[in-house]
Amino acid sequence: MLWLIFLVLLFAAVISFNQYIKNRKKYKAGEMGETEIYQMLNQAAPRSSVILRNLYLPTARGTTEIDLLLLSRKGIFVFEIKNYRGNIYGDERYNEWLKVLRNGKKVPFYNPVWQNEGHIRALLRLLPEINPRVVYSRIVFCGSSEIKRVKIKNRRVQVLKDTDLKRKLKWKLRFSFNKFSGKEPALFERRLQEFTNMNGRVKRKHKKQVKSLK
């Protein structure tokens, strides 16, 4: 009887360890994608701009995390970074998108446009004086993923590969009209600083919240 209990416990431990390794790999892949885009923004954005990383903003259910935020005179850009493999299919109208792996396996994931809309709503609650029309959503796919068919009609939303981001962002920052004064990005930064560099407790609580929603 004892050996049976031991086998059950061992089996459970192996499953837990494998899940831990899998989650750790996902976390590292996400971090690598964010770092890549962060460095790209530093190169593309004007000096008057401000870049914030990993903001944990309050919501009715807890917190929501913005991967990267660019505060510029041309507008505010909210980035959701996806470091995925496979071909990406999606439509802004539908709850689920698909990534299709090389072996043909279809993996659904939550609509990142909707996900980023939640981030933007949380941001606008903290900065209510900002016109939503000057806030832009950018969904960026990194890694070996390919955007095969994605339908987007909203002009303030772009879904693109990391390889196209720098060129398109530079064009937007160079040729669009100013939406803010030269001092406003820094003012917004000061009001948002308290939501960056959160302690481990906040991050763990956020991860638990995300897991429960999945």
Does pLDDT of 214 surpass 70? Answer: no
pLDDT digits (tens, 9 = 90+) for 125-182: 999 999 999 999 999 999 999 999 999 999 999 999 999 999 999 999 999 999 999 8
Q: Which of 83, 101, 66 is nearest to 142 (CA)?
A: 83
pLDDT digits (tens, 9 = 90+) for 106-120: 999 999 999 999 999
What is the pTM assigned to this prediction? 0.80
Helical (H) or strand (E) element with 64: strand 62-72
Q: What percent of the chain has pLDDT over 90?
A: 69
pLDDT digits (tens, 9 = 90+) for 31-60: 557 889 999 999 988 888 999 999 999 998
Task: Identify which has the larger pLDDT, 3 or 16.
Answer: 3
The phi and psi torsions of 73 (rounded to 5 degrees) equal -65, -25
Whole-angstrom distance between the N-terminal and C-terminal Cα of the chain? 37
